[in-house]
Chain A
């Protein structure tokens, strides 16, 4: 089974800090995604990447950047954390094109609190 590992389960950071969320997958997937999930708003796509050094903006990229230096690793960066970025962050990966029988595989999530 594909394993998607997010480096931290819980994080507490201060306003203005630069925050790095790391995601690693072990099955050679081309696609990687970062979503945030908030009550009543569902899963919203922040950024995705379909290849090393490639990145595409999702629906809510403001305040975030990403890095994909290696195929297996996709990092989400909060340049200057703000309280409205308190959320559950979910990383996912998939084949390209998407395998319809497997969809995405999600990591276990990082619950980030910005104080």
Chain B
């Protein structure tokens, strides 16, 4: 079993809709989770992190964490074509020293 599972997509949503990206993890010890966005040919950039159960909002982005069910999700409201990218989920491991990444979900926002 992979440590972090993400649906590779592509996930297609119309402009203005809510995009929902999901990630499940196997390590019950994991406490901190990260969402990165990666445009084609570019390096990943941090969107937000979450380490408490519940929701965390930052602008159009909301991260949701459910430790009991071992999943973390990212909601993007009012999706824009500029949101089209691959979204990587990651969790902190190695004694709090390194991140383990999922394979990413490709999001396409269509006009």
Contact = CB atoms under 8 A, between A and B. Distances in A.
Contacts of A42: 88, 101-104
B43 A107 contact: yes
B73 interface: no
B26 to A, nearest CB: 15
A58 to B, nearest CB: 8
A101 B32 CA distance: 10
Contacts of B44: 43, 90, 104, 106
A100 B43 contact: no
Contact of B42 (A45, A101, A103, A108): A108
A100 B49 contact: yes
Contacts of A58: 98
A96 B104 CA distance: 25
Nearest to A104: B99
A103 B34 contact: yes
A25 to B, nearest CB: 13
B45 interface: yes
B31 to A, nearest CB: 9
Interface string B29-50: 0001010100000111110010
Interface in A57-115: 58, 90, 96-98, 100-104, 106-109
B46 A104 contact: yes
Contact of B49 (A35, A43, A96, A103): A103
A25 B103 CA distance: 26
Interface string B1-39: 000000010000000000000000000000010101000
The 3 A-B residue pairs whose C-beta atoms are closest, nearest first, are A42-B103, A106-B43, A43-B101
